[in-house]
């Protein structure tokens, strides 16, 4: 599968107009980044930026082989990719200057610049992330049957990330219309490839994943164009992904503010500068603008295909005859090249001046960009609806997924064992019979790829539901949830939607020990851009999951394992959506407020029933949505009862309860007649022994004791 690519066949040479366009774009990219360096050094561009000077041929050749509707995902050195794919340089400059008119409204900057209308899904500050995001866009295109292709640019350093291997395997397995393009500039940050990679050519890895891999000259714009053209044809034909490794060299340091000790030899620098893509493209353009007197070859024997007037015109320009006048055509051609350079300079200087004059974003832009608007409260039927039946928590989850998949073809489930067996807790059991394996998509054990593919799919028109088989495994998905899904809309200026659900079982109680029993909701409640839901009943599970699937924001949907096996209740048969950020008062009371989540709601209600026999009336509130939190319902209750106990299964220290307690202390301190009490798990990992497991998880007795304590009884 791996091969070195021969130089392009001169017989396949591109026409002069195309070569001129290539040359113009090479000059535009080179001059853009040269001016960005100057602007950074004078403080106009702040933070940092990463120059692609020296690597321009890759951007130009690759993007020329794509259609406008095709997708690209860039990396931190991505200015050239954006320009080559058609992004507006004025908006790019404005973004680099942090202006409101920039592509991301000044919120993304150089490392996150995007142009969604051009199929540019963004540069990315996380090494290798685009490999997964681009693959997700390719998956989306395949499922939508749009005919689009996705291409992910990444550096040689990213080829040593785990996502590289996970993505290559899944993309090849599913024959995604995907092109993986490695810009091998032979250094990660400062570490040479020879010191970080066990093989001499990264393209050799392609064979292990059943896809073609080739190494090309990344400073030859035509070689890049031809390689990507072949890969695009393969992708559009349904033959799956390709891997292209382009050898190149960045002229500058890792970033514009790196200030690193010298780590590359001067001889190496001289060697690569001599291979400058722009000089080589200019030579090719000059050659293309001359004229051969004879046929294609001495044995071609072709019918006449050039006009006699054209031949006479060019013979009159015989270079030998005109040698005494310094080859007039060689004076004309450099003049044309100079004109192309002038055009690039004029365009960029105009972009700089317009960007400098643009306003900076106001503070109001921040919150608007974090999340898309939620659906308004349309009312919910309640568990006493006439069509309600007694079903389990698992059945409620399954029914919500089923109804939403029937309602919206863009909804699909992706995860380990979700299709054929319906998940290890049976939440999707039987759905494959209705929707097929494409929408109930079983995956390899590749959490990073699963979640990042889903983010890319959500960014390009799909509504994925990611099943996390056991929620502790979310640690392998943290980049895609926290750095990609949660920030995607924000980094791109509040424009795109990110409709994705990450759902799965968390919590203890069924003896699965330390790595299968954690309650990690506090992690996600801490992250702006995420919605966090935690239903405690089958009714809430169906209504909240329906809302989560329909919402245009990333949702972390927590399902407690104990509720899978213990909870049954009335659930309406009709589809319904519980509003985001609306708590439910599970039991009214006047003496003490208990805010309880997930599996702690049932013991809180049991404790309240016991305390009622002592004359203590407990109001039990289930937030249902942890972020955003319905603070007003909690505050209204505390102003009535003057006391608050917060109970959750997660660790007490640094937990969800601490935030609720702080909020009440800040907003309702004058109404409190006792300190706020928090109850959570002991500060240890979950034990395996069943007696010890029960001992570390909050109990009904502890909740009752806390209520008595805040009443000083």
| pLDDT tens digits for range 58-88 | 999 999 999 999 999 999 888 999 999 999 9
Higher pLDDT, 265 or 151: 151
For the stretch 110-155, pLDDT in tens is 888 999 999 999 989 888 889 999 999 999 999 999 999 999 999 8
447 is catalytic: yes
Average pLDDT, the chain: 90
Rounded to an integer, the average pLDDT of 576-603 is 97
For the stretch 224-259, pLDDT in tens is 999 999 999 999 999 999 999 999 888 777 777 767
Catalytic residue selected from 166, 214, 416, 447: 447
Rounded to an integer, the average pLDDT of 592-608 is 98
Q: Is 593 exposed, middle or buried (0-12, 13-18, 19+ CB in 10 A)?
A: buried
254 is catalytic: no
527 Cβ neighbours under 8 A, 6+ residues apart: 481, 482, 486
Question: 519: how many CB neighbours lie within 10 A of its CB?
Answer: 28
Characterize 131-165 residue by residue with b for buried, 16 or more Cβ atoms within 10 angstroms of its Cβ, and e for exposed. Answer: bbbbbbbbbbbbbeeeebbbbbbbbbbbbbbebbb
State the Cα–Cα distance between residues 440 and 417, nearest whole angstrom. 9
- H or E segment to which residue 230 belongs: helix 221-236
Higher pLDDT, 196 or 584: 584
Catalytic residue selected from 516, 560, 642, 648: 516
pLDDT exceeds cutoff 50 at 537: yes
Q: Is 442 exposed, middle or buried (0-12, 13-18, 19+ CB in 10 A)?
A: middle
> Is residue 102 within 8 Å of 493, Cβ to Cβ?
yes
pLDDT exceeds cutoff 90 at 382: yes
373 Cβ neighbours under 8 A, 6+ residues apart: 552
Q: How confident is the model at residue 294 (pLDDT cuts 50, 70, 90)?
A: low
Q: Report how far apart the first and last C-alpha atoms of the chain are (Å, whole number).
A: 77
pLDDT at 72: 96
Q: CA 481 from chain center: how many Å?
A: 8
């Amino acid at each position: 599968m791996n091969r070195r690519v021969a130089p392009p066949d001169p017989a396949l040479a591109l026409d002069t107009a195309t070569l001129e366009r290539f040359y113009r774009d090479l000059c535009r990219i080179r001059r853009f980044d040269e001016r960005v360096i100057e602007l950074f050094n004078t403080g106009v561009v702040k933070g940092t930026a990463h120059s692609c000077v020296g690597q321009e041929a890759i951007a130009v050749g690759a993007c020329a082989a794509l259609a406008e509707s095709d997708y690209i995902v860039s990396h931190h050195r991505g200015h050239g990719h954006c320009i080559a794919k058609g992004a507006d340089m004025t908006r790019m400059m404005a973004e680099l200057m942090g202006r409101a008119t920039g592509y991301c409204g000044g919120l993304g900057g150089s490392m996150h610049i995007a142009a969604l209308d051009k199929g540019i899904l963004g540069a990315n500050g996380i090494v290798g992330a685009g490999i997964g995001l681009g693959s997700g866009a390719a998956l989306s295109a395949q499922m939508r049957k749009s005919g689009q292709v996705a291409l992910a640019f990444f550096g040689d350093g990213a080829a040593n990330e785990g996502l590289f291997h996970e993505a290559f395997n899944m993309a090849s397995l599913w024959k995604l219309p995907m092109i993986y393009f490695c810009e091998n500039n032979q250094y990660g940050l400062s570490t040479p490839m020879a010191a970080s990679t066990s093989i001499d050519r990264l393209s050799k890895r392609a064979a292990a994943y059943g896809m073609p891999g080739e190494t090309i000259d990344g400073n030859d714009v035509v070689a890049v164009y031809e390689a990507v053209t072949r890969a695009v044809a393969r992708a559009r034909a349904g033959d799956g992904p390709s891997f292209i490794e382009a050898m190149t060299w960045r002229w500058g340091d890792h970033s514009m503010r790196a200030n690193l000790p010298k780590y590359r030899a001067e001889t190496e620098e001289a060697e690569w500068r001599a291979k400058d893509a722009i000089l080589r493209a200019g030579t090719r353009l000059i050659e293309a603008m001359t004229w051969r007197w004879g046929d294609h070859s001495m044995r071609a024997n072709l019918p006449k295909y050039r006009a006699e007037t054209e031949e006479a015109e060019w013979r009159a320009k015989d270079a030998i005859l005109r040698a005494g006048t310094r080859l007039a055509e060689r004076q004309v051609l450099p003049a044309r090249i100079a004109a192309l350079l002038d055009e690039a300079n004029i365009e960029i200087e105009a972009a700089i001046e317009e960007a400098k004059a643009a306003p900076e974003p106001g503070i109001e832009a921040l919150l608007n960009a974090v999340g898309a608007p939620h659906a308004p409260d349309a009312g919910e039927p309640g568990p006493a609806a006439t069509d309600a039946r007694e079903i389990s928590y698992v059945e409620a989850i399954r029914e919500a997924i089923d109804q939403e998949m029937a309602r919206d073809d863009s909804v699909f489930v992706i995860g380990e064992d979700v299709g054929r067996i319906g998940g290890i807790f049976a939440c999707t059991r039987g759905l494959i019979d209705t929707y097929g394996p494409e929408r109930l998509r079983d995956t390899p054990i590749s959490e990073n790829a699963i979640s990042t593919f889903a983010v890319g799919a959500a960014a390009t028109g799909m509504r994925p539901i990611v099943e996390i088989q056991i929620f502790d495994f979310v640690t392998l998905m943290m980049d895609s949830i926290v750095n990609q899904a949660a920030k995607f809309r924000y980094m791109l200026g509040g424009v795109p939607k990110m409709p994705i659900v990450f759902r799965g079982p968390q919590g203890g109680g069924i003896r699965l020990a330390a790595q299968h029993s954690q309650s990690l909701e506090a992690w996600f409640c801490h992250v702006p851009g995420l919605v966090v839901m935690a239903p405690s009943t089958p009714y809430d599970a169906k209504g909240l999951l329906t809302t989560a699937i329909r919402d245009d924001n990333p949702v972390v949907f927590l399902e407690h394992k104990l509720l899978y096996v213990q909870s049954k209740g009335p659930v309406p048969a009709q589809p319904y959506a519980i509003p985001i950020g609306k708590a439910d008062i599970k039991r009214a009371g006047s003496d003490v407020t208990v805010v309880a989540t997930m599996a702690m709601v049932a013991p809180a209600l049991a404790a309240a029933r016991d305390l009622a026999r002592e004359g203590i009336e407990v109001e039990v509130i289930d937030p249902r949505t942890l972020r955003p939190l319905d603070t007003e319902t909690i505050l209204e209750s505390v102003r009535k009862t003057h006391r608050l106990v917060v109970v959750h299964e997660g660790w007490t220290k640094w937990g969800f309860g601490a935030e609720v307690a702080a909020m009440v202390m800040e907003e309702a301190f004058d109404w409190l007649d006792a300190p706020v009490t928090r109850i959570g798990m002991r500060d240890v990992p979950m034990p395996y022994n069943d007696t010890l497991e029960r001992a570390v998880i909050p109990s009904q007795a502890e909740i009752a004791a806390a209520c008595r304590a805040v009443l000083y009884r």
